[in-house]
Amino acid sequence: MSTVIRKTCIVCPLGCHLEAELADDGQILLVRGNTCRRGESYMRDELTDPRRTLTTTVRLVGAENDAYLPVKTDGTIPKGRLFEAMKVLSGITVTAPVVRGDVICEDFLGEGVNLVAGKTVEASSCG
């Protein structure tokens, strides 16, 4: 006896309809429905350690117009830590100027990924 788990792949906009066959002990017997290898590894991660990239904004000061800076993790963090991450980020303020790709937090949450700036924002001309 095996069970079939169905998931939509989120790796790319194709959204492949993935299926995994699990043995009674939970072991993954087979992944199908994927059209690339990343799809298979996504399904395997999803069943053992689901992870997501976090995109959000942090407070920004010293810019002409922008009051918030878009940021993202440059890799995935455990899905279960998303809300914890949001809480940490609500206490962070960045000062302009900032360049797209600048690291805002190194080794974010100790997960081995960085939080990076998503946008280049110049400092306000009037200081």
Partner 1 sequence: MDFKKIIIVGGGPAGLAAAIEANRCGIAPKDILILERDRELGGILNQCIHAGFGLHMFGEELTGPEYAGRFIDEVRARGIGYLCDAMVLSISAEREVAFVSPTEGFCRVKAGAIVLAMGCRERTRGALNIAGSRPAGIYSAGTAQRYVNINGYLPGKRVVILGSGDIGLIMARRMTLEGAKVLRVCELMPYSGGLPRNIAQCLDDFDIPLYLSHTVTGIHGKERLEGVTVAKVDDDRRPIPGTEEYIECDTLLLSVGLLPENELTKEAGIVLDRITGGAQVDQSMQTSMPGVFACGNVLHVHDLVDFVTKEAYRAGASAARFTAEGAAPAGKMLPTAGKSGVRYVMPQKLDANGTLDTDTALFFRVDNIYRDKYVVLSVDGVEVIRTKKRFLEPGQMETVKLNDTAIAAIRAGSAVTVSLE
Residues near partner 1 (CB under 8 A) are 7-15, 17, 52-57, 59, 65-68, 70, 72, 79, 82-83, 86, 100, 118-120
Distances (CA, A) of 105 to 50, 76, 85, 94, 102: 22, 14, 11, 10, 9
Distances (CA, A) of 44 to 8, 24, 33, 68, 110: 13, 16, 13, 36, 23
Task: Name which of 80 and 112 has its Cβ closer to partner 1.
Answer: 80
Q: How far is the CB of 22 from partner 1 (least distance, A)?
A: 18
Assess contact for 50 and 5: CB atoms under 8 A.
no
Task: Name which of 23 and 99 has its Cβ closer to partner 1.
Answer: 99
Q: How far is the CB of 23 from partner 1 (least distance, A)?
A: 24
Task: Name which of 75 and 112 has its Cβ closer to partner 1.
Answer: 75
Task: Name which of 15 and 23 has its Cβ closer to partner 1.
Answer: 15
Q: How far is the CB of 25 from partner 1 (least distance, A)?
A: 25
Q: How far is the CB of 56 from partner 1 (least distance, A)?
A: 6
3-state secondary structure of 22: strand
